[in-house]
Structure formats: structure tokens, C-alpha cells
Amino acid sequence: MKKSLFLYQYLINPKTVRAVRPSSQFLSNKMIEAIHFKDTKYIIEYGPGTGVFTERLSKEEIRTQ
């Protein structure tokens, strides 16, 4: 999602979006760096978003197979 559209959605409905900017690739990398994928059976991703975490987790799953 483009940053300007994300900001627009925040301005229209701040109680739903709750963020001024979308999450970055840097943030997604930092959040999953402590996960031991070979020992992990399930990962639950909770809540709506732009897909940056799902995309990063999918790439890691492919890499570890």
C-alpha cells in the first residue's frame, strides 16, 4: 500500500488503522529474527495489516524447506 494512501486511511478512520505509516521490511526482519523456524510448528499472525509480516514469514518458510 502506498504511504500516502495509508496516511489517508489513518486520517479518515484513526481508530481502525492506529498507525500513521505502514510497517517496514526492517521492522519485519527484526520481529522474526528470534524465531527458530526449524523448531517452530505453528506461527499465528493476528490482526489486519498491509501484509509485510506475512510476506516475510512466507519467504522464510520457503528458505527453510
Cell 502506498, residue located: 2
Name which of 61, 62, 57, 54 is nearest 22 in CA terms.
54
**pLDDT of the residue at 15:** 84
- Each domain of the chain, given as residue ranges in start order, spans 22-65
Q: End-to-end CA distance of the chain, in Å?
A: 29
Q: Is 18 left (phi over 0), alpha (psi -120 to 50) or beta?
A: left
Q: What is the pLDDT of residues 21-62, one digit of tens each?
A: 778 888 888 988 888 888 888 888 887 777 888 888 888 766
Q: What is the pLDDT of residues 5-25, one digit of tens each?
A: 878 888 898 888 777 777 888
**pLDDT of the residue at 1:** 55
pTM above 0.85, yes or no: no
